[in-house]
Chains A and B, each alone.
Chain A
Amino acid sequence: MIRFTARENVPRWLNFAVPLAAVVVAVIVAGVVLAATSHNPLTTYQSIIQASITQPGAFSQTLVSMTPLMFTGLAAAVAFRMRLWNIGGEGQLYMGAIGAAGVGLYFHSLPGPLLIVAMIVGGVLAGMLWASIPGALRAYLNTNEILTTLMLNYVAANVMYYLIFDSNSYWRDLTSPSAKVFPQGKTLSDAATWPALQLGNVTIPFGLLFAIGLALLLWGMIRATRYGYEMRVLADSPMVGRYGGIRTRRKILSLMAISGGIAGIGGASQVGDFSHVLDPRGLEQAGFGYSGIVVAALARYNPIAVVVTSFFIGMLVNAGFALQGPNFPIGLTGTMEGILLFCVLGAEIFTRYRLTVRRPHAKVRTAAPVSPPPVAVGQATTSHGGVS
């Protein structure tokens, strides 16, 4: 008989060892899936590494892929940290792209740095507004935010398509000859191109540096501010929060807006750093919002860890783009993300519980095998960062 018994306290090394072991298991499981579908796992893994790190220019491409994932990952992480399930990062990113592209086009005569700031503000505001709809519904009417945020992703995609494909909107290019045949967005002026940092032969997008700064800021906010403390209290126990005088509704609405704003910068960065145009198809096919959920969950909603996990998912996404073809079907990216996350998620139980094997005939229902000293009870809660 195999049983799980709760650990009294979690050794620190387990918090690293368990996820690492889970990643190893995931690599093996994904290898089995590849082998079962007659793909060679070793050559597939090798080509992922080549296409995302070792080939010339590949590393820079991985940084490009990880940039939006870090934004959507951070957006999901801060919301999920308070058990606010914002899975609308996808739509909030679209809205951010619309906002930033609109601002970038309208203020094209501003000097570069000001224009970039304006685009970021445009992206943030658009993402915030879009996320505030489900935020307000959840805060004041208690409407399930999982479903409303998700539904709004589809609505946002339709808004974006409408602007470029089905109307004479401000975003649409109506002048160039090719645009008359194939609808496309207006290209932004050169001043609206975000600068990139060149280190040797590695190009670091401005958005990536911005996202890393944001990750540090959010980490500090969660750990060291009153706002972050209240977030953690509400995550662990909404009741305690309410009796403790935390304004729950405001917190829900504001956190949702923050989360949407972060995803919105992701959209702004897509326009400013990379595409320089509002490109509905490109954004929709990329699915940055959904991969951001994987990034956040792998990081266990820790903003600093998001920097690391977005790199790995970025590798995978980038390999997916670079290797597309019979040896690397598009669907492999999501399949591998899913296997990885399932393994890490399933393995978490080994940090909270220990596995004990008991002989079936020894039906002793008294006293757990590890005798718990009563003093240890307080320690068990500290891993949650505590309400005491």
Chain B
Amino acid sequence: MTGINANIGISIIMTAILYGTPLVFAGIGELFAERSGVLNLGVEGMMLMGAVMAFFVSQDMTGPSWLVLLVAVLVAMIAGAVMALIHAFVTITLRANQIVSGLTLTIFAGAIGLSSFIAEDNKLGGKAGKHQFVPLNLFGLKHLPVIGPILFNQSAIVYASWVVVGAAVIYLYRTRIGLHLRSVGESPQAADAMGINVTRYRYMHVLLGGALAGAGGAVFTLQIATNWIDGMTAGAGWIAIALVIYSFWRPDLLLLGAYLFGAFTSVGFDLQARGVTSIPSEFWSALPYLMTIVALVAVSASSIRRRLGTPAALGVPYVREES
């Protein structure tokens, strides 16, 4: 009896990690951009571009599976970064409103935009994926009770997401560049006076954010699903943005939050697969979005909220005053 319950628990955690992984990549990416003071609401669009380009590569490239998957993820990252470059140019160099530019990016690249255009032009819809990420039995430890499957039986892209989170923590809090990055997001004037190139830092981290969002999108077409559907990220990019807020701009909390939301996404599938049909499927589809609202409200309503963690210069273009 307890054995069965443990199995259910493990399978819920496994699917939570699966659905949480795109959120980890995209969330860390957005966290970098926001730490530099640039809000990028184009995450959904960048993820879809990553997803479509990764699928495109996995369809058309021949070679050993690991190489195809590696190239697919790299191409997805480049696609995400190129999208982010548009946002960076429009908001940093041309000083346009970050909110409107980010929304534009999501419309430009999104479900009825460039990602769908590329998919249709290359007839990607309806094709079955040729290469998928598969679990790796790391160190041969997958049969350890409980932690075995969770920690040692994941795919390469999941391990990569853990490396990204660890690297982000070290980068932000233990390196000089990370310190500079935080200062650019808190007080660009002071950073500029210290000789930090604010514009360069912002460009670099918006691009990095785009690349990670692209990688997050690739998880959708290379592991979660096995085909391409227009708009298949279904709001994951927006959940990633919310995740940055209620993890207080901290990568470690973001990882936990991403898995929690992975669980909200997958719990409906799990329960329906187990024959629980008394609750309509639309409720389960809506659950991650409802819980995102609940989490945002909880963060904004809590007494410790007073701008906890928000980069002070978030959303504000930096203009060096010259007289």
Contacts and interface: CB of A to CB of B under 8 A. Distances in A.
Do the two chains bind? Answer: yes
Interface of A: 3-5, 37, 80, 85, 87, 137, 141-144, 146-148, 150-152, 154-155, 158-159, 161-162, 166-167, 287, 290-291, 293-294, 297, 320, 326, 329-335, 337-339, 341-342, 345-349, 365-368
Contact of A335 (B113, B230, B241, B281): B113
Interface in B92-130: 94-97, 99-101, 103-105, 107-121
A335 B52 CA distance: 15
A146 B238 CA distance: 10
23 contacts: A37-B117, A37-B121, A80-B100, A143-B300, A144-B296, A147-B241, A148-B293, A148-B296, A162-B283, A326-B120, A329-B116, A329-B117, A331-B112, A331-B115, A331-B119, A331-B230, A334-B108, A334-B116, A338-B105, A338-B108, A348-B94, A368-B322, A368-B323
Given A297-B103, A335-B117, 15 more contacts: A141-B301, A154-B285, A158-B283, A162-B282, A167-B280, A290-B107, A297-B100, A320-B112, A330-B117, A334-B111, A337-B107, A338-B104, A346-B90, A349-B94, A368-B323
A338 B95 CA distance: 17
A345 B97 contact: yes
Contacts of A37: 117-118, 121
A161 B282 contact: yes
Contact of B104 (A155, A341, A347): A341
Given A147-B241, A334-B107, A337-B108, A345 B100 contact: yes
Contacts of B179: none
Contacts of A367: 323
B118 A331 contact: yes
B117 A342 contact: no
Interface residues of B, number: 53
A203 B52 CA distance: 40
Contact of B293 (A152, A320, A346): A152
A298 B110 CA distance: 18
Contact of B286 (A4, A146, A158): A158
B290 A342 contact: no
B187 to A, nearest CB: 20
Nearest to B104: A341
B286 A155 contact: yes
Contacts of B322: 3, 5, 365, 368
Contact of B245 (A87, A144, A154, A347): A144
A137 B297 contact: yes
Contacts of B9: none
B184 to A, nearest CB: 20
B171 interface: no
Given A146-B99, A167-B280, A346-B94, A151 B104 contact: no
